[in-house]
Amino acid sequence: MDNFSKINEILASVKKVVIAGHVNPDPDCMGSSLAVYSILKSMGKEVTLFRSDKYPYNGAFLEYAGVATETVPDFEPDLYFILDSATPERTTEPFFTKMAASKSRKILFDHHRHKDNGFYDAEVTDEGASATAAIVYRWAKSLGHELTKGEAEDICFGIFGDTGGLRYASTDKEALSIVADLAEKINYGDFCSKFFENLPENWFAMFAEVLNSMEKYKDGKVVFFATTLDQLRRFNLAIDEIDPYVEEIRRIGTVKIIFRIREVEAGKVWKFSVRSRGDIDCIPIAQKFGGGGHKNAAGFTFYGTLDEGRKAVLEIAETLDL
C-alpha cells in the first residue's frame, strides 16, 4: 500500500508549486503532469508546469495541454513536484541545476527502476505500476478527490501510453481497473479515437520509406530502423508523430527486440529506443550507454555516426539469447 501521508503533509504546507517531468515527454509524463496540475489547482495552489519539449501530438485534446512552459521558472517555488523522472537530471540540465541549488522541498511520483539517493524529501515510487499515471490515480483516491473528466482523461492517456493502449505485458489488473472505473467519465470510445486515430496521410508515406530501409537480424527476431532529420523535413512530420512506428513494427510476429534510432543532431547525435517482448530485459542494454528505463522499454543517447551506433548495438544483440 502506498503511503501518501508525507506527500500530503508537505502539500498542505506549500502554496507555489512547480511541476516537471523528464526530457522528451511521453504520454505518461504528459498525462501525469496534467492530472497533478489540475488537482493542485483545485486545491488552491499556484502551479507552474514546465516541459522540456513538445508534448505528444495526440494529447492536444487534453485539458490544460497548452499551459506548460518551456522556460525554466525564474522564481523560487515552495515545492518541486517531479513526475515520471526518478533521475532528477532528466528534467533537463538547466532545470535540474536550478532545482538542485534550491532549498525548496522536492517530491516524486514515478514507476521507473531507481535507487533512492536522498534528493527528494518524499517520494512514492513503484516499479510494478503500469504507469506513473496509476500512482497519480492512487494519490487522488487517497485525498478523497473526485476526478474531473479532464483529470480522468489525463490518467487514462498516461496509462494508455505506457501499456500500448492496454496491449503490452505492463497491462496489469490495476491498469484495467482504473480504465474501467473511468471509462464512462471519459467517453471511452471517443477517447480511444482521439488517442489512436489521428495520423496525417504523410505519416504513412514516411513509414513506407522506413520499412524499406529496416534491417532484420537473427531470423527476424532483431529489428533495427532509423529515422533522420531529413525525413522529418521532407514529410513535414514532428518527432512525436513518428513514435507509433515502433508500435506498428512490434506487430511483426517474429520480432523479439527492436532498436529504433532517431537522429537528434545531424550525423552525430542519435536517440536509441529499445523495445522488447517477454523476458528480454532492455535495461542492461541501455545502461551500457548511460541510459535506462523499463524492462521492456528503455533508451539512451549515442554520440557518433549512425554506422558506429548500429555496430555497437548489433554487437550486443548478437549476445542475446532469443
Q: Where are the domains of the chain?
A: 5-196, 201-317
What was the pLDDT predicted at 169?
Answer: 86
User: CA 24 → CA 56, 224, 227, 250, distances in Å?
Assistant: 9, 21, 16, 21
CA atoms of 93 and 250, how far apart (whole Å): 33
Give the pLDDT band (50/70/90) at residue 319.
Answer: confident
What was the pLDDT predicted at 148?
Answer: 98
Residue 1 has pLDDT above 60, yes or no: no
CA atoms of 37 and 230, how far apart (whole Å): 36
| Average per-residue pLDDT for the chain | 94
Query: Which of 240, 259, 241 has the alpha carbon at shortest distance from 249?
Result: 259
pLDDT above 70 covers a percentage of the chain that reads: 99
Give the pLDDT band (50/70/90) at residue 316.
Answer: confident
The alpha carbons of the chain give a radius of gyration, in whole angstroms, of 20
| Residue range 22-30: mean pLDDT, rounded | 94
CA atoms of 133 and 166, how far apart (whole Å): 14
Beta bridge partners of 303: 269
Strands 269-276 and 297-303: antiparallel
Q: Kindly report which listed range (108-117, 128-137, 231-240) carries the lowest average pLDDT score.
A: 108-117
| Residue range 247-266: mean pLDDT, rounded | 94
The one-character DSSP state at 223 is E
Give the pLDDT band (50/70/90) at residue 153.
Answer: very high
This prediction's pTM: 0.85
Per-residue H/E/C for 137-175: HHHHHHHCCCCCHHHHHHHHHHHHHHHCCCCCCCCCHHH
Residue 176 has pLDDT above 70, yes or no: yes
**What is the grid cell recorded at 319?**
549476445
Helices and strands (H and E) in the chain: how many: 12, 11
Assigned CATH topology for domain 5-196: inorganic pyrophosphatase (n-terminal core) (3.90.1640)
Query: For the segment 71-115, what is each residue's pLDDT rounded down to a tens digit?
Result: 999 999 999 999 999 889 999 999 999 999 999 999 999 998 777
What was the pLDDT predicted at 303?
Answer: 95
Reply yes or no on domain 201-317 having CATH 3.10.310.30.
Answer: yes
Residue 260 has pLDDT above 80, yes or no: yes
User: CA 196 → CA 130, 191, 208, distances in Å?
Assistant: 19, 9, 19
Query: For the segment 179-222, what is each residue's pLDDT rounded down to a tens digit?
Result: 999 999 999 999 999 999 988 899 999 999 999 999 999 999 99
What was the pLDDT predicted at 2?
Answer: 67
CA atoms of 274 and 255, how far apart (whole Å): 12
Is there a contact between 132 and 158 (Cβ–Cβ < 8 Å)?
yes
| Residue range 285-298: mean pLDDT, rounded | 89
| Residue range 14-39: mean pLDDT, rounded | 97
Identity at 116, one-letter amino acid code: D
